[in-house]
Structure 1
Amino acid sequence: MTIQNLIRPSIKALKPYSSARDEFKGGTENLIFLDANENPFENGVNRYPDPKQGKLKALISQIKDVPTEHILLGNGSDEVLDLLIRMFCEPNKDNILILPPTYGMYEVLANVNAVETIKINLSEETFQPKTAAVLAAANANSKLLFLCSPNNPSGNSFEASSIEFLLKNFKGIVIIDEAYIDFSKEESWLSRLSEFPNLVVTQTLSKAFGMAGIRLGMCFASEEIIATLNKIKPPYNINELTQAKAIEGLSEMALINLQIACLLDEREDLIKALEEVYFIKKVYPSDANFVMVKVDDANKRYQQLIENGIVIRNRTTQPLCENCLRLTVGTKEENQRLVENFKRL
């Protein structure tokens, strides 16, 4: 297996669009820009943003300890995932593998791109990958395997031995979605990127970093994969305001780490309180900023909370999640109100 053999032939042959900002390689001091048909009247956003996000990538590189050549940024992680499907999967021919219950956008993006989705449910109760079943379900047209760890909606991290086994034996690209990794006791797979050419790790600023509103996703992979993704991404996919706000937010890592520590404390307190609610049958372990619980009647309890002004997520329709609710960890006051309402129902 080589990465080049996995990439769609049309993508390998593609000549990327060259924007005005790509073609001009010089600095920006004391220059008159008449190359991009921009409005010349300065208002802070009249110029196109940096298509390569140089300053932002340099900061992310420093925080994540990953060279910039191994980083791609997307308009949310969803754009990154969409680009990966378009890069590797031939429409109406190839397929992806997902492990329900999991993040629903994997299948949606596959459907948008006319790519088949093969589903292999996680093991019951433990929500761990059934590695033998995954490999048995794969075929010659299986290009991508999506692993969400910590998993959404169950909240658990996948065992490192299972992930490593799949990385070594799956004949395609393994994408580890680490949207919730900052809340986990497990180490990120970023530290092992160099070991596995077929490893792609995605992360986001939407969760632990508190910047869901700016829509910024991060993709970490080999230089070969990142170079190809840069060929097919829109030239200015990360706008100027997003880049500036991300740099501002990432410059406050002490505050971010403090908020993460606070949420971890709140998560443990919330779990203890939920275990005392009579109609909650099980509180699942969590490595994320949410907790999944099994209740007596998910539809009933969900509606009761709505009527009391609290919105949670009802996951009862998802595989292995019958009568399960997903609860985001909020502030101390929000969590207390949630528990108080649960105990009053």
Structure 2
Amino acid sequence: MAFSLDSIAQALGARLEGDAALQITGASEPALCGAQDLALAMDPKYAEGLPKGKAQAAILWDGADWQGLNLKAALFVGRPRLAMAHLSKIFDPGPQIAPGIHPSAVVDPSARIGPGAAIGPLTVIGVNARIGANARIVGQATIAEEAVIGDDALICSGVRIGARVRIGDRVILQPGVALGGDGFAFVTPEKSSVEQVRETLGDRVEVSNAAWTRLHSLGTVEIGDDVEIGANSTVDRGTIRATKIGRGTKIDNLVQVGHNVEIGEDCMLCGLVGVAGSTRIGNRVVLAGQVGVNDNIFIGDDVVAGGASKIFTNVPAGRVILGYPAIKMTTHNEIYKALRRLPRILRDVSALKKAVSLPDQSN
């Protein structure tokens, strides 16, 4: 589908100069552009590729001489990455799902399907499940009994939604997401080695009966509006109460959210993050890739945790942390600088020891 450059400018809130009627069918790196592609050259270093491509229009940086770059038109934006987000939405049609219910789908008669919903092939929808208006469910998804999916949701292929899970409006679940599996909760007849280590911070005694007994998960999962969850991520149901993810939170691929966890609004959890059970996370928290979070702790609003940090204790609001164990990022950086100087310090100490131990040669 083609869009006029003028309509794209309005969608991006961009300033347009040149031929507003140009028809644009896609976006591309400058060197790879076809005649109807919009070149993405928001930085001077990217403009070097414009002569190699065929672009007639581009998104440029403020002050760029678009006519000198042999373009017919140009767009100028204040925040390039935000403009990219809006532009990608224009040209992304999303998965193609035929309207209505595919003949191969298995939908329980008691399930309620909202107007405009599209149910793809080999999807299974259980007893008393509710699917919102205009929801799109790609093939081979499974939606268990009494689950609720909000309006305009997108459920991609292979998603597994457990019993009584509640999902808000405009939620996006990428392929392989699993919501509402049992939490990882087990108990032993006597105090387990884990309990002993937790109490003593290292010491332990022998356990005569260490057989694990499963705690069944009676709670569920509640997902707020406008949440997105990446491919093959999992959210466990709560033991008694629900595991909750707040409105607007974005979760990357391969993230594990344990039972009873509560995550606030507009958080971002990057790839391979693991959050252990019963932890509470505030609003607008960012956990970078491979961050690990201990169980039964609290992370305050606006915390930012750097990649591979391991968070073992409560974190106050607004703190920036890094490391293993996670501490203030400024403190971590000081420690790391000192660690790099350690070999030289040890050499200096060794030289001083030798000097002190030598006999006095002055007599």
TM bracket, shorter-chain basis: under 0.3
- TM-score, normalised by the number of residues in structure 1: 0.22
Q: Which structure has the larger Rg? A: 2
Q: Which structure has greater strand proportion?
A: 2
| Greater RCO, CA 8 A, separation 6+ | 1
Q: Which structure has greater helix proportion?
A: 1
